[in-house]
Structure 1
């Protein structure tokens, strides 16, 4: 009889445990244990201790003379494996091959671009995963230039259960925008490796180094010289921002050459921007840069005009339906003009949607024809 009771209670206990497990699975999650691992050395030594894994990262660090930062500074490193660099270089060299240009390598790509991109992954201060567990995550800053990044602790999907997978960090390039829709993000593969001077989180192997900027930045051709800067002059607009000429989104910011400022007006209808050069010059290009947010405010229809008296105008270029694919995107428009004008005017007649217009910058430019 006692054996029968024991068997009964054993089966009952198994049933209760199974029911509890099933209920937890129905909740769609499990709680993985995040193991805090330690390494008896600095961040640089840790990377060196993993041959075949971080060789490309070390090559970039050494080229940019960042070894001391990885040895002495209090940092959090989002460590990139060889695969991340290989993906970026393959994408770049596939494009270069189409243009009959030789391949590039970490030892030969533009050092300034490599420096600013790599610095996004080296964060000031020590951040273990728990410090990023707030609902909104945390704003993080690159160790060298203070570039704004963002980190957040998330749970991934596993076996069909939303938030049922392991806990990882989502690291985002904010593009200097407060709006998440403009961010580019990736996740970590493992987290919380502690060294003597910092924390190492390993970025997923399918991440492409540079987020989405590697190819575009290394194939970037700068615009021709800006006549607003090289010659100087006076800017005016048909309508000022509602806050006045000294508002944070006043018209003067459309002429300052800084993509992080902008000119904004509501109830646009149409608006013109004008620049009177100190001396006449023949512009053969102009640029427009999209602002930081809300693509529906981008201008899409406009015309560029030139004048020598500010009254009689010649149309130099007209555009309709132009789109900006990204925020802070600088587009160069080349024109076949050989006449020197003292006044240049941009007439904007339509935005993407709605009645509010914004732009980061406008310039007229002179490219020397060889």
Structure 2
């Protein structure tokens, strides 16, 4: 309980850091310049983009999940390095307050933690945006998306948000056509409250599955940095 109080105490300061840090690399993430097809496996694609996935590749190796991303027929929602750095930064604040050595190498975090949380992003079978039902985060009773079990056994939700088309007529009056705009894939978790994460780029097709890249501005590795920090701290 004491550890959890410490974690909650520093959330406010951490949130400010996240806002500042999340601006980095956003130009590439938001540009949608990923290739639609990649002549290689998911693991090979991640390895080919170290500017975005260098830390993720280290986590994959520490979690002993290279074979999963290289061989199995899967769908992988890739958390870029920035999302991992957010959660590790909060862990380091907890360690510092406790008078413990901070993490300077991802290998200092127990591999059990890496595998547990990375498994939240892996799903059996190849699926594209078009394979998921509609999601409306404000009307979940009407458009809930669809529940899926992740590789690690976690209950997750995946759906496609249909944005509205908004314009103004000659009189300057706003006109809105519901659900007629662009469609965006979302990965959601309900373990720590409802946390919806938009996908920055979807449908990167590789030899062994589909890859969807999470939005760095609206996601922290594990969905909850607080939960990740608490779990990692408990096993150190």
Structures share a fold, TM > 0.5?
yes
- Describe the shift of the 1:192–1:36 C-alpha distance in structure 2 as closer, same or farther (beyond 3 A): farther
CA RMSD of aligned residues (A): 2.6
5+ residue gaps in structure 2?
Answer: 1-33, 135-142, 168-175
Q: Which has the higher helix share?
A: 2
Counterpart CA distance in 1 for 2:80 and 2:164 is 23
5+ residue gaps in structure 1?
Answer: 1-34, 176-180, 222-370
Contact 1:137 1:153 in 2 (8 A): yes
Residue of structure 1 in register with 2:198 after alignment = 187
Counterpart CA distance in 1 for 2:58 and 2:162 is 32
Q: 1:168 aligns with which of 184, 187, 198?
A: 184
Residue of structure 1 in register with 2:229 after alignment = 215
Counterpart CA distance in 2 for 1:101 and 1:67 is 31
Q: 1:148 aligns with which of 151, 155, 158?
A: 155
- Describe the shift of the 1:203–1:157 C-alpha distance in structure 2 as closer, same or farther (beyond 3 A): farther
Counterpart CA distance in 1 for 2:94 and 2:165 is 36
Residue of structure 1 in register with 2:74 after alignment = 75
Bigger Rg, which one: 1
The CA deviation string for residues 181-207 of structure 1, in whole angstroms up to 9 with x for no partner, is 933221110101100110000000121
- Describe the shift of the 1:98–1:74 C-alpha distance in structure 2 as closer, same or farther (beyond 3 A): same
Instruction: Report the number of matched residues.
Output: 182
SS of equivalent residue, structure 2 residue 120: helix
Contact 2:64 2:115 in 1 (8 A): no
Counterpart CA distance in 2 for 1:197 and 1:137 is 25
Counterpart CA distance in 2 for 1:80 and 1:129 is 17
Q: How far is 1:133 from its partner?
A: 2.5
Q: How far is 1:98 from its partner?
A: 1.9
Counterpart CA distance in 1 for 2:163 and 2:93 is 32
TM-score (norm 2): 0.69
Counterpart CA distance in 1 for 2:55 and 2:80 is 7
Contact 2:199 2:212 in 1 (8 A): yes
Counterpart CA distance in 1 for 2:232 and 2:53 is 22
Residue of structure 1 in register with 2:7 after alignment = none
Q: 2:207 aligns with which of 196, 201, 212?
A: 196
Q: How far is 1:92 from its partner?
A: 1.3
Counterpart CA distance in 1 for 2:229 and 2:214 is 19
TM-score (norm 1): 0.45
Contact 1:119 1:142 in 2 (8 A): yes
Residue of structure 2 in register with 1:62 after alignment = 61
Residue of structure 1 in register with 2:123 after alignment = 123
Spell out structure 1 runs of 4+ moving beyond 4 A.
156-165
Contact 2:65 2:115 in 1 (8 A): no
Counterpart CA distance in 2 for 1:82 and 1:98 is 25
Contact 1:124 1:140 in 2 (8 A): no
Contact 1:156 1:166 in 2 (8 A): yes
Residue of structure 2 in register with 1:45 after alignment = 44
Instruction: Describe how 1:187-336 pairs up with structure 2 within 5 A.
Output: 187-206=198-217, 207-212=219-224, 213-220=227-234
Contact 1:42 1:71 in 2 (8 A): yes
